[in-house]
């Protein structure tokens, strides 16, 4: 089993995903929030790219969620903070969600055989899932505005480490080796590393330090969001 890591969405080509399991990673905050929502009883999440699409796809009873520039979209029920997705109001509900980079990563992965959402929170569970799916793996870091984001790279490094603990990997691409090393160097100080990276600092300035600290928790949730048709649902082990 091979793992490739791609540094950001605009670096990826659709054909790289054919016959693979793709794990889309947007630690701050889209995939952390999706993992949290599904582990709190949300029935399914429909990731879309635009506000317009979100409104068009909303059916009776669905909630709308999403952010632009880290802020909730006007008229939407929820933003993109994981803490908003820990309430009983989302239980049994479908949520149509649009975020800046995370949903782009999920859509870019369209040609993959299986598409999962990964975060620090569910890295170990992701490793369990990819072993069951028995395909080579691509970890697609969402990044920010077409640039690499450290927190996504560290998460890729953690998922690789968790997978290595379970099986012997046949190969890692150069970027995967680099991210695995970067994770191992920082594993004793992940919170600090994520607070110091560009998105971590930006969210702290906006008063969202608690979000950053929550998203930095490792292997805290066993839910793996799995794209079934257009809806992310919990992967059934």
Peptide bond into 29 cis (omega under 30): yes
Q: Give the alpha-carbon dihedral of 102, 112, 48, 7, to 10 degrees.
A: 20
Comparing CB distances to a copy of itself, the nearer of 150 and 227 is 150
Please identify, among the stretches 90-98, 127-135, 190-198, 225-233, the one whose residues bind a copy of itself according to the rule CB under 8 A: 190-198
CB of 25 to a copy of itself, least distance (A): 14
Comparing CB distances to a copy of itself, the nearer of 132 and 185 is 185
DSSP state of 135: S
Binding flag, residue 11, a copy of itself (CB under 8 A):
yes
Comparing CB distances to a copy of itself, the nearer of 15 and 236 is 15
Strand partners, 64: 96
Q: How many residues bind a copy of itself (CB under 8 A)?
A: 23
Comparing CB distances to a copy of itself, the nearer of 23 and 27 is 27
Comparing CB distances to a copy of itself, the nearer of 173 and 222 is 173
User: Could you tell me the strand order of the sheet in which 20-25 lies?
Assistant: 71-72, 63-68, 94-98, 44-48, 231-234, 225-228, 114-118, 20-25, 136-141, 2-6, 171-172
Residues 72-111 that bind a copy of itself (CB under 8 A): none
Contact between 225 and 45 under an 8 Å Cβ cutoff? The reply is yes
Residues 132-161 that bind a copy of itself (CB under 8 A): 147-150, 153-154
Q: Reduce the DSSP state of residue 118 to 3 states and report it.
A: strand
Residues 156-185 that bind a copy of itself (CB under 8 A): 173-175, 177-179, 181-182, 184-185
Q: b/e string for 94-104 if b means 16 or more Cβ within 10 A?
A: bbbbbbbbbbb
Binding flag, residue 62, a copy of itself (CB under 8 A):
no
CB of 160 to a copy of itself, least distance (A): 13
- Judged by the rule CB under 8 A, the positions of this chain that interact with a copy of itself are 7, 11, 147-150, 153-154, 173-175, 177-179, 181-182, 184-186, 193, 196-198
């Amino acid at each position: 089993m091979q793992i490739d890591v791609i540094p950001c969405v605009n670096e990826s080509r659709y054909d790289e995903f054919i016959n693979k399991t793709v794990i889309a990673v947007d630690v701050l905050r889209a995939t952390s929030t999706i993992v949290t929502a599904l582990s709190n009883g949300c029935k399914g999440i429909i990731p879309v790219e635009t506000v317009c699409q979100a409104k068009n796809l909303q059916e009776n009873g669905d909630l709308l969620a999403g952010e632009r520039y880290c802020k909730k979209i006007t008229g939407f029920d929820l933003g993109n903070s994981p803490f908003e997705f820990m309430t009983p109001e989302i239980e049994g509900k479908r949520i149509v969600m649009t975020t800046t980079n995370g949903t782009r990563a999920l859509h870019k992965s369209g040609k993959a055989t299986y598409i999962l959402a990964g975060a620090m929170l569910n890295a170990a569970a992701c490793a369990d899932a990819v072993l069951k799916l028995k395909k080579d793996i691509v970890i697609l870091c969402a990044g920010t505005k077409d640039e690499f984001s450290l927190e996504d790279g560290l998460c890729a490094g953690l998922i690789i480490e968790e997978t290595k603990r379970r099986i012997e990997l046949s190969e890692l691409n150069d970027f995967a080796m680099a991210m695995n090393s970067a994770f191992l160097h920082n594993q004793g100080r992940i919170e600090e590393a994520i607070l110091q990276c560009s998105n971590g600092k930006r969210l702290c300035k906006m008063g969202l330090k608690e979000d950053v600290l929550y998203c930095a928790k490792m292997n805290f949730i066993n839910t793996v969001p799995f794209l079934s048709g257009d809806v992310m649902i919990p992967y059934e082990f």
